[in-house]
Structure formats: structure tokens, C-alpha cells
Structure 1
Amino acid sequence: MLNRIEIRDFAIIDELTIDLHPGLSVLTGETGAGKSILLDALGLCLGDRADTSMVPEAAKRSEIHVIFDVSDTPRARAWLTEENLDEDNECLLRRVIQSNGRSQAWVNGRPVTRHQLEQLGRLLVGIHGQHAHQALMRPEIQRRTLDGFAGHANKLEPVSSLHARWQRVEAEIRSLSGGDGDHQDRIDLLRYQLEELDEEALTEEAFSQLEQEQRRLAGASEIIIACQRSLELLYEGETTAQTIIAAAERELDPHLGVDSALAETRDLLATGQVQLEEACQGLRQFADRLEMDPERLQVVEDQLSRLHDLARKHQVEPEGLAAHAEALRDELNRLESADSRLLELHAERDRILDDYRNAAAILSESRRTAAMQLGERVDDLLAQLGMTGAELTIVVDPDSEAPPTAHGTDRIRFDIRTNPDQRPAPLQKVASGGELSRIGLALEVATADTAELPALIFDEADTGIGGGVAEVVGRQLRALARHHQVLCITHLPQVAAQGMHQLQVEKRHREDGRTVTDVRPLSPEERTRELARMLGGLEMTEKTLNHAREMLERVD
């Protein structure tokens, strides 16, 4: 449900807050007061393209906030959850249009694209009338309207399920066939790649050992020198660590009997002497084993160079070449053994397609039956709404050769003829703005029990009608409001009287010369005066006031 609209600095609106309620709300006011501007502002929060001409000259930007309650709108809640934009049962849409042309949008405080805003808007509001947001024109809306009226979820589900199975089988067939390339070409390439990888690739451990060997060979001369210098300092030089420790031991020996603590220190020096001798022996052995081998070094470096080149070619790290080779080997084995699997998959795909076509045919038949019933119901309503002779034809055109889709193979189109002597044609090509609004009203009333959108807006659904037909339009809108929140912009008192809530749009001139629009809810007495104005024009008599009271009293 649409709870609130807040508008700041938009066209001739300075600052405006509109609180809306369940049921039927009507917006009335003089022509040119700015009723359509409200729809323009709402449309921006539903994903319409921004128009900088709507930003007043004195303002830097226009800002619109719209608050929805989505507790009873499962499709909108599911979309918000999927996009990580959910926030309990409230949904806040915000749109800002800068005077420099920049446009920004947010849902529940998180930035979104205009396309995301448009996707969400289609799940929240249906707008009928002379406005860019006419959902009824879209083929997918026409299809969903028919399916919702038919109530054949048990026929849609098998079609959707078989389509999903067909997609999975098709994906595996493409994968086993080598993707977009030729199956045999892929096998040949894999064999070539594995041949060069098997010749050179090392495991991660072997590559690490090779790098360690390279570092040892490359630094052999420096390591040998370091070992020799260490031995000189520790054991073999004129003044070594060993001779210094031995001298310290000799200095302490005569005094060991004086204090036992000194003997403990003397023992530590002796232990150090033993460890020093072991360390020197280790250095000698390491230095003796280490040889400078330029030829081996060259071999190792050449091998490392080839491995790095191979890694760049395959776009992996050198230590990952062996694992990459195994992955390619698995793919090659799968492709080489794919022929038998492909035969199974093609047979499975044929079976799924047969089942899919049968399920789609059952769905098509159900749609044709529902199309006739819905068309007849809408025709009756259109006659009541002043479009005598108008006829809605819902075309269900199956295409058995079309690729499977989740919703069947039918092309569904709403055709209309507005006069008996016309041939039916697509809705968007024939109906005028006022006619389209009444057709939308008839469809909404006919499908009220099954329609998904929580809020519906009718922009001057009463265009071109009057008298008793106008009262019928109002009654139908009120009946529709038992299932949806309905907002209607109207010039006719017969329609306005049916409203459960009435808002008046007024235009006034400020002292600085600027024209601005205000919207305010009307009290019962104010409603009477507004209806009287709509009935009698500028001259408001007691007769028109009594007539207005009578119209309000007659409402169920």
C-alpha cells in the first residue's frame, strides 16, 4: 500500500506531504491546479526518466520520497530480499533530480539504478491513463493478467519445471560439446596442451625444491666464503672463539674451590666449548659438500625460465602448473568419453521437449478458455462504462517452434475495437488515453480477486463521459477498492462522491509572484462544497450544495 508521498521543489510544488489510506481516494481540483504533477513526481520514484525542466529555477534540486507498506506484497518483498534492499515491511523510495541533470535513486537508504527502481515500481503500483507508466501496454503484464484471472498455477508449474530441466540438459550438452567451439577442436587443443605440460610441469613441492636449489647454486661461492670466515673466527684463526673460551676456563680453574657458584659457570663454558666444536665440524662438512657447479646452475635456471613461460601461457602460477594439467586432463577424459553421454542427453532433451510441448498445449488451452471468459466480462463492464460496442479480444497464439520459456510458448496480445465498425487491433494502437484508462479499470475490476498489484492509480478514467456512466465508473472504482488501494484523479462529481477519502489540489499565488500547488484532505463539509463546485462551477447555490449532500448520502 502507498502510505505517503513527500515532494520538495518539483515543478510548481514547493513542499508537500500527502498521507494516503486504504480504499478509494479521489483527487479533485480546478483544471491546471497540478494534479498530473503529482503523478509525474510519483512516476520518478517508480523509475521514470528524469526531466530537469521540472526543477524550479530557484532550486538546486527536486526531491521525492515515497513510502510503501509491502507486508501484503509478496512479489515486491521477494524482489527486495533478492536485491539485499529489504527493510522489514516498509519500503522507502527516494529520487533526487539535480538542476545539472544528474539523477540519484535510493531504496531503503541504499543507492540503486533507475532500472532497479523501475523493476520495483512495476511490483508496487499500476497506473492507468494518460501517463508514461501504463503497465497494461506491456506484453508480460497482459500475459500475467490473463494467467492470474485463469488461476491455473497447476498448469503453469509443469511448464516452468520442464523449462528448467531443459535448460540444465542444454547447458550440459554445450559443455560436453566444448562450449561454443567445435568438440574435436577442443579435444585436439587439450591433447597438445597436456603434452607440453606433462613434459615440463612440476608439482608445487618439486617446483619449490627447484627454486631452493637455484638459490643455493647461485649463492654457492658466497656461502663457501661465509663458512670459511666463520671457521676462522671460531676455530682456525689466530684469535678464535675457541681459544678465548679456553683462556677463560684456565683463569677460573684455580678458584673453583672458593665458591661452588663459580664452578657452575665454569661448567657452562665447558659445555659451550663442546657445542662450538660441533658447530665448527658442521660448517666444515657443509662447506665440503657445497661445490660451485655453473653447469648445473645453468640447467636449473633454464628449467625455471621454461616453467615461468609456460605458466604465463596458461595464465597460472608456475607452482600450479601440475594442478592445471590435471584439470585439463579431467576435461579431456570427459570430452573423450562424452559421445555416449551426449547420446543420452540428446535423448533426454527430446523427451523433455515432448513433455514440455504437451504441458504448454494444456496451458494454451486453459488460456484460450480464460481469454474468452475475461473478454466477455470486460466487454460487459466497458458497456457499463460508456463504451458500448467496444470489444476486447485476448489473442492466445501458440508457437510450437519457439524455444521453451518458463511461461510457455504463447504470444498473448490484448486487441480492442472501440467501435462496432472497427477491426480489432493491439491495445496501444487503438485506444485513446481516456479509453485506455476505462479499459484498464474494466480489466482491474474483472480480475480484482486475482490481481497482484497492491495500489492502482487512475488518471482521469472519466474522460469523455458524464451522467449515469460517470456514476458507474465511480461505483466500479469503489468496488475495486475492496481489493486494492485505489487513487483516482477526476473532474466528475459522480466519481468523486464515491471516494472514501478526498484530497483537493489547489493552485495559489505567493507574494513573491510564484505559483505553487498544495494538496489537502477534505473534511465532510469541505467535500460537500468541493462537489458543489464541481457540479455548479463558480456559482455555488444552496441547490448545488443540497445536490452534493445527496450524492454523498447515496454512496453505499
Structure 2
Amino acid sequence: MLTGLTIRDVVLIDRLDLAFGPGLAVLTGETGAGKSILLDALGLALGARADSGLVRNGAKQAVVTASFEVPDGHGSQDILEEMGIDADGPVILRRILTADGRSRAFANDEPVNVATLKRLGETLVEIQGQFDQRGLMDPATHRETLDQFGGHGALLEKVGRTHASWSAARAAHRKAREELERARADEELLRHNVEELDAAAPEEGEETRLASDRTLLANAAQILEAMNGAAGALEAEDGAEQAVATAQRILERVRDRAGDRLDSVIDGLDRAAAEIQEAQHALSQIASDVEADSGRLEEVDDRLHLLRALARKHDIEADRLPELHRALSARLAALDDAGGGLADLAHVEESSRADYIEAGKALTEARCIAAAKLDKALTDELVPLKLDKAQVKTRLEPLDENDWGAAGMERVSFQVSTNPGAPFGPLARIASGGELSRFLLALKVVLSEANPVSTLVFDEVDSGVGGAVAAAVGERLARLGSDTQVLVVTHSPQVAARGLRHWHVAKQADGELVKTAVSQLEQGERREELARMLSGATVTDEARAAADSLLNPA
């Protein structure tokens, strides 16, 4: 609900602060007094197109601030949270327009772009005028409007869910098919690479191991010479083995006389003797192995050359060849088995499509039922608005399958025939200005419970009507105001009398300057304004009596 509107330096308004409450509020005044300026200012705060002509002559900038109280879970809060803006408390929209046409927008004192301001505004206020192409005048809103009227939330949720599943299944099938087509194109090369790796049969860590073997074999002569020298040194008459044995014999002769003092020394010599024997055995074994493998150098070189050539071919490290072998083998196996996998994906896609169609048909049937109810309710509302010859038809037009989406399988539009036998067509093309305003009012009355917007603004909805029709317009606006905040710019006393609040817009001269002033009328002032609207420039007692009857109907 709009709670406050602050306007600074907009056209003829220099300073204006208005406070609003629930229910129906009316704005009246002479033609040209500036009522449309108020709507232009409000539109500016709601993200409408900015025009530097709105800046008051001589001012540097125009500023408009609109404040709203919203319930928890309101759509505006979702948008604020999406933008990272604090959504607690009131929603405050501000627009600054400079004299050179530049514009800045703010939501809850945080800078936002105008597109975001407009998104917020569309969740808070709906302005209906004879030439306004937003709201119900925009066919893009008709499907959502019908679903709100019919209470199709659960059906829409199911359609959206099944459409998402179908889309995912379709994408997976398409991706697999494209991958298969690419793989088929490279199948000959893939098979050749797998056969080549099958033949090579690379092993984990093989290249590292072979490189070590090659270093050993390439230096076999020097290594054998060194090992033979070491073995000779150990086995010589004055070598380590003989020296340790001599020391053992000498100490064993006096061991008993020394108590246990020599035990650790003798044990150490025993270990040294054992280690020397093991070292001699190892040297002998290694020397035998080196001598036995001395003819493998060429074989190792050939194997390393093969592995490294394969690694260069596939632009990887040689030790990753086994991993590549497994991956290419798996791709080839998948290619050989692709027919079955594609068939499974095609089945999932078709099953998901069937689920979507089932959910979509259920939604379509519900929309047909809701459309019939809506058409009847609208026709009933049009009779007292002097549009009894008009017919309303909610049209459901099936979409091509390529256009099916999360919102269903049809396009929805509200169409009108204003005279018997005349063709049906869109609201804006078929109805005249005055008729269009009444059509929109009837739609709003019928759809009031389904409308998520808490503030409705009507600009001269009573244009071109009077008497009983104007009274019917006022009665419907008052009915709307019982559940929704409604602001109406009107020239009809029958409509103005229905307002819970009455604002009067007038021009005032301030020296050479002319300004627009807005004042809230009390009961006596309302009587005079209604009498003026009834009688014109000269207010008569008869007009005052008529105003009394409008304000206090029997």
C-alpha cells in the first residue's frame, strides 16, 4: 500500500508531501490544474521513462519519493533480496531527474538501475489509463491474470517442474547424440590409437623404471669394476673380513675373565661380520645380474623410444600412457554400446515429454473452465456500465511445440466485441477511450481477489459517462477499495462522492509564478467541491443539495 508521496520541483509542483491510507481516495480539480502531474510524478518513482521536461522551470533537479508498506512475502521483497538490499520494513523508491535529463534511482536508499526500479514498481502499483499499455492492456499479462483468477498455482508448479525435467532430458539426449556423432567421425582414428596402445601395453611407472635400468646398463662396465674392487677389498688377506675375524678370536680368549664387559663389543663384531658377509653376497648377486642383463640395453632403449614416441603423439607424459589407454578404451567401448545408451536417453526424453503434456493438458482444461467463468463474470459487470451490448471472450490459442514452456501450452488474450455481430479483437483496438476505461474497471473488479498488486490507480476511468453509469463506476471503485488501495483521478461527482479521502488539485498564483497545490478536503469542503463539479463555475443551492445526496445516500 502506498503510504506517502513526496514531490520536489516537478513541473508546477515545488514542494508536496502527501500521506495515503487504505481504501478509495479521489483526486479532483479543474481541467489543467495538474492532476496528471501527480500521476507523472508517481510514475517517475515507479521507473517510468524520464523526461527532462518534468523538472520545474529554474530548478536543478526533480525528486520524487514513494513509500510503501508491504506484507511479508511480497514480490518486492524478493527483488530487494536478489539485489542484496535490506527488505525489512517499508519499501521506499526514489527517483532523481536532473534538468539535463540524467536520472538516478534508489530503492531503500541503495542505488539501483531504472529497470530494477520498474520491476519493483510493477509489484507495488498498477496504473490504468485510457492510453496506458501496461497492466491488463498488455496481452503478455493475460495468461498470468487468468491463472490468478482460476487459482492455478499447483497446476502451474507441476507444469513448470515437468517442463524442467523434459528440458533436462532433452538436453542430455541431444548432448549424447552430438558426442556420438563427433565420436563416429573420429572412430577410425580412435580405433587405431586403442590398437596401438593395446600393442604397447604401457604399465604404471614403466618409463621411470626403464630409465633407471638404462642408466645402470649404460654404465655396467664401470659399475662391475667398482663392485669387483669392493669385493676384493673385503675378501683380501688384510681386508675387513679377516680383520674382524682376528679381533673376534682374540677377544673370545679373554671373554670369561672380563665378565660381561666385552659382551657388547663381541656382539658388535658378530654383527659386523654378518653385515660384511651380506654385503659380499649382495655384490656378487648384483654383479651377476648386471652381467646377465648386459645384453638388454638395446631392448630397454627400444622400449623407452616406443613409450616416449607415444607420449609425444598424444602430448602427455609417458607415465600417463596407461591412464590414456584406459580412457580411449572406455570411449571406444561406449561408442560400440552407444546405440543402447541413446535409446535409453530417448526413452527418458519421451517419458518426460509425456509427463509435461499430461500436466499441460490439465492446466489447459482448468484454464478453459476459468475462462468461461471469467467471461460470464465480466459480462455481468459490463451491463450496469452501459456496455450491455459488449461481449468478452478469453481466447486460448495453442502454441507450437517449440514454444511450449514452463507456463503451459497456450497463449491467453482477453478479446472484446463491442456490438453484436462485430468481430472480437484486442481491448486497445476494439474499445474507445471511455469504453476501454470501463472494460478495465470491470476486469479489475472481477479480478480483485487475484491481483497481487495492492495499489490501483485509475486515470479518468469515468471519462465520457454520467448519471447512472457514473454512479455504477463509483460503486465498483468503492467495492475495489474495500480490499485494495485505489486512487482515482475523476471529473465525476458520483465517483468523487465514494472516496474515503478526497484530494483537491488547484493552480495557485504566487506573484508571477503559478504552482500546483494539493489539499485534502474535509466534509464541508467536499460538499462545495462536489457542488462545483455538478454546477460548474457558479455553485447553486440546488447543486449543494445534490452534493449532500451524493455524500449521504438514503
TM-score under structure 2 length normalisation: 0.72
Shift of 1:22: 0.3
Question: Which 10-residue stretch deviates more, 429-438 or 366-375?
Answer: 429-438
Partner of 1:8: 8
The CA distance in 1 between the partners of 2:100 and 2:408, in whole Å, is 46
Aligned: 1:545 with 2:544 = yes
Shift of 1:435: 2.1
Partner of 1:505: 505
| Secondary structure at the counterpart of residue 502 of structure 1 | strand
Give the 5 Å matches for 1:78-477.
78-132=78-132, 134-177=134-177, 183-184=182-183, 340-399=340-399, 401-477=401-477
Root-mean-square deviation over aligned CA pairs: 3.4
The CA distance in 2 between the partners of 1:147 and 1:19, in whole Å, is 34
Query: Quick check: 1:159–1:406 contact (8 Å CA) kept in 2?
Result: yes
Q: Percent identity?
A: 38
Shift of 1:510: 1.6
Does the C-alpha gap of structure 1 residues 185 and 48 become closer, same or farther in structure 2, counting only changes over 3 Å?
farther
Question: Which 10-residue stretch deviates more, 70-79 or 500-509?
Answer: 70-79
Question: Which 10-residue stretch deviates more, 80-89 or 391-400?
Answer: 80-89
| Secondary structure at the counterpart of residue 168 of structure 1 | helix
Query: Quick check: 1:528–1:549 contact (8 Å CA) kept in 2?
Result: yes
Partner amino acid, structure 1, of 2:142: Q
The CA distance in 2 between the partners of 1:329 and 1:70, in whole Å, is 60
Shift of 1:21: 0.7
Partner amino acid, structure 1, of 2:183: Q
TM-score under structure 1 length normalisation: 0.71
Partner of 2:23: 23
Query: Quick check: 1:357–1:400 contact (8 Å CA) kept in 2?
Result: no
Partner amino acid, structure 2, of 1:130: Q
Shift of 1:504: 0.8
The CA distance in 2 between the partners of 1:157 and 1:125, in whole Å, is 26
CA deviations over 1:440-493 (Å, ceiling 9, x no partner): 110111122222111111111101110011111101011111121111110000
Shift of 1:422: 2.2
Partner of 1:523: 522
Query: Quick check: 1:35–1:489 contact (8 Å CA) kept in 2?
Result: yes
Report which of the two structures shows the higher radius of gyration computed on alpha carbons: 2
Partner of 1:52: 52
Does the C-alpha gap of structure 1 residues 399 and 343 become closer, same or farther in structure 2, counting only changes over 3 Å?
same
Partner amino acid, structure 2, of 1:548: A
Query: Quick check: 2:130–2:461 contact (8 Å CA) kept in 1?
Result: no
The CA distance in 1 between the partners of 2:330 and 2:14, in whole Å, is 66
Shift of 1:343: 2.7
The CA distance in 1 between the partners of 2:338 and 2:90, in whole Å, is 52
Partner of 1:68: 68
The CA distance in 1 between the partners of 2:7 and 2:471, in whole Å, is 32
Query: Quick check: 1:176–1:335 contact (8 Å CA) kept in 2?
Result: no
| Secondary structure at the counterpart of residue 401 of structure 2 | coil
The CA distance in 2 between the partners of 1:101 and 1:185, in whole Å, is 60
Query: Quick check: 1:190–1:332 contact (8 Å CA) kept in 2?
Result: no
The CA distance in 1 between the partners of 2:136 and 2:73, in whole Å, is 19
Query: Quick check: 2:93–2:107 contact (8 Å CA) kept in 1?
Result: yes
Partner amino acid, structure 2, of 1:434: G
CA deviations over 1:269-308 (Å, ceiling 9, x no partner): xxxxxxxxxxxxxxxxxxxxxxxxxxxxxxxxxx9xx99x
| Secondary structure at the counterpart of residue 554 of structure 1 | coil
The CA distance in 1 between the partners of 2:150 and 2:443, in whole Å, is 13
Does the C-alpha gap of structure 1 residues 106 and 341 become closer, same or farther in structure 2, counting only changes over 3 Å?
farther
The CA distance in 1 between the partners of 2:333 and 2:462, in whole Å, is 67
Partner amino acid, structure 1, of 2:416: I
The CA distance in 2 between the partners of 1:508 and 1:330, in whole Å, is 89
Size of the aligned set, in residue pairs, is 436
Shift of 1:8: 1.0
CA deviations over 1:411-439 (Å, ceiling 9, x no partner): 11111122335211111222233322211
Query: Quick check: 2:459–2:489 contact (8 Å CA) kept in 1?
Result: yes
Shift of 1:371: 0.9
Query: Quick check: 2:454–2:485 contact (8 Å CA) kept in 1?
Result: yes
Query: Quick check: 1:178–1:186 contact (8 Å CA) kept in 2?
Result: no
CA deviations over 1:479-537 (Å, ceiling 9, x no partner): 111121111110000000011111111111221x2221111111111111111111111
The CA distance in 2 between the partners of 1:187 and 1:525, in whole Å, is 91
Partner of 2:534: 535
Query: Quick check: 2:77–2:87 contact (8 Å CA) kept in 1?
Result: no
Query: Quick check: 1:105–1:117 contact (8 Å CA) kept in 2?
Result: yes
Partner amino acid, structure 2, of 1:540: V
Does the C-alpha gap of structure 1 residues 27 and 332 become closer, same or farther in structure 2, counting only changes over 3 Å?
farther
Gaps of 5+ in 1: 199-302, 312-317
